[in-house]
Amino acid sequence: MAKILIAGCGDLGSGLATELVAQGHMVTGIRRTKNDFPNGVMGITGDLVEISDDTLPDADVVFLIMTPNGRNEEAYRTAYFDTAQVLIRRYKDIAKQPKVFFVSSTSVYGQSQGEWIDENTPAQPTSATANILLETEQSLAAAFSSVAVRCSGIYGSGRYRLLETVLSGKDWEANSWTNRIHRDDVVSALVLLANCALSKKAIPAHVIVTDQTPVSMWEVKLWLATCLEAKVAVSGGEGFVPTSGKRIQGQYLLSQGWRLQYPSYVPGYHELLREFKALR
């Protein structure tokens, strides 16, 4: 039985915690608000940057899974970099450091000319928010044996933004490549990484979590528009070929036996569409 801390026990963190408790581990979860934690989890409610160091338990593995309150530089720094400094202060100088996993984003790859991206591709952030994610990754790597878990666009239960965009009838932006991963597949990837760490397996400094199926955004929107009987809101003459974006694949998780429940957007969004239509 291992001691595992999940700093950020929201949707992803709760899914991860549930699986790790089922495996017999001692799991502590922290969330900023609310005190509903999965069964078997020792819960701490409070802002991580305001929690005293002695409140944070000893841990063999730590997951940092934060969600910013906005999509601007200040919100990202507060959610990611500042919380990472708390973990560094608490665990950096102890005799037995934990393995630290930081759930980051493939936005650190700023390439946007249709390039193929994998775990050997250097990060080249081009936005302020992506720069903060990379800065957080580097800060943790300087203090610990850490892994940046770079997720592509996460979708799944309760995440309706793209469906609402298609229904809105607003003109679609120029076509681009998009990369996606279902929430349940992110959870299974994090569980696998925890088990790899506890088994003392070598893990790369950067691991990509994506469904391995890059696709044109217009293809996704056309499929969703058909399913929702919505307007196809294409007014420009750019053509169907994507003019920007990147195509992302990762090898490490597959090499460790990871199997996707949703290997493309089609099965994943079928389930989400049923949920969405039931609420309308």
pLDDT in tens, 166-218: 999 899 988 999 999 999 999 999 999 999 999 999 999 999 999 999 999 99
pLDDT (0 to 100) of residue 241: 86
Spans of the chain below 50 pLDDT? none
Question: Residue 236: its pLDDT value, please?
Answer: 64
Instruction: Show me where the domains of the chain are located.
Output: 3-157+181-212+246-261
Report the pLDDT value the prediction gives residue 280, as an integer from 0 to 100. Answer: 77
SS3 of residue 90 by DSSP: helix
pLDDT at site 238? 63
Buried b (16+ CB within 10 A) or exposed e, 141-163: bebbebbbbbbbbbbbeebeebb
- Residue pair 246/179 in contact (Cβ under 8 Å)? The answer is yes
Nearest to 80 by CA among 34, 130, 123, 122: 130
pLDDT of 193 reads: 98
262 phi and psi angles, rounded to 5 deg: -130, 85
pLDDT at position 148, please?
Answer: 98
Listed in order, strand segments (DSSP E) in 162-276 are 177-178, 180-182, 206-209, 215-216, 245-248
pTM to 2 decimals? 0.96
> For domain 3-157+181-212+246-261, which architecture applies?
3-Layer(aba) Sandwich (3.40)
